[in-house]
Amino acid sequence: MTAEPRGYCLIINNEDFRECGFQNRNGTNVDAIRLREVFKQLKFSTILCDNLRSYQILSEKDEGVQEEMSKNEKKYAQELQFKDMMVAYSTTDGYVSYLNEKYGSWFVDALCTVLCKHAADSDLKEIMRLVDEKVSERESKSRDKSKCGRKQTTNTRLSGFRRKLFFNP
């Protein structure tokens, strides 16, 4: 990866879940800021969108994303047509993703730490394996003893990526 920007990183920061009947996920802003900084260091153009609804995320006409994308970014996104795509989930379906209001989520903490340490010498698949390893080593701590000792594992889905992808910052 030598072009600048090297690619585009879309960060969707959903903190407000009251409309769905859930509590807010306080601490997601810590994750969003950290992700944006790490991907900027990796020379990616970052787009940060806050509190998008599912129809906005999936829609090509999403004004929240479209307004933030330049003409070049839109052209690049259309050319990609999602041939090579990675979607990383902080946990598997039906399980909790742990989040600390002050420090952010276990997943983003691990992802940013691993990217900063290994972006120059590891490919994307290895980076995600290391992230999963780092997250799965953690245990929840709480004053409520019934919530102590809980674990989390990540879920990464790759489409395409038949070759190794290196960031080489």
> pLDDT tens digits, residue range 147-159?
777 788 898 887 7
Range name among 1-5, 8-12, 30-34, 134-138 with the lowest pLDDT average: 1-5
Instruction: Characterize the bridge pairing of strands 8-13 and 45-50.
Output: parallel
CATH (residue range 8-159): 3.40.50.1460
What is the spatial distance between Cα 14 and Cα 49, in angstroms, rounded to a whole number?
Answer: 8
Helix 106-118, helix 124-136: angle, nearest 10: 140
Question: Which distant-in-sequence residues (6+ apart) come within 8 Å of 25 by Cβ?
Answer: 14, 15, 17, 99
Quote the pLDDT of residue 109: 95
How far apart CA 26 and CA 15 sit, in angstroms, is 6
Is the pLDDT confidence value at 64 over 50? no
62 pLDDT exceeds 60?
A: no
pLDDT value at residue 31: 94
Higher pLDDT among residues 158 and 73, named by residue: 158
pLDDT tens, position by position, 94-142: 888 888 888 899 999 999 999 999 999 999 999 999 999 999 888 777 7
Q: Are 49 and 65 in contact (CB under 8 A)?
A: yes
Q: Is 110 exposed, middle or buried (0-12, 13-18, 19+ CB in 10 A)?
A: buried
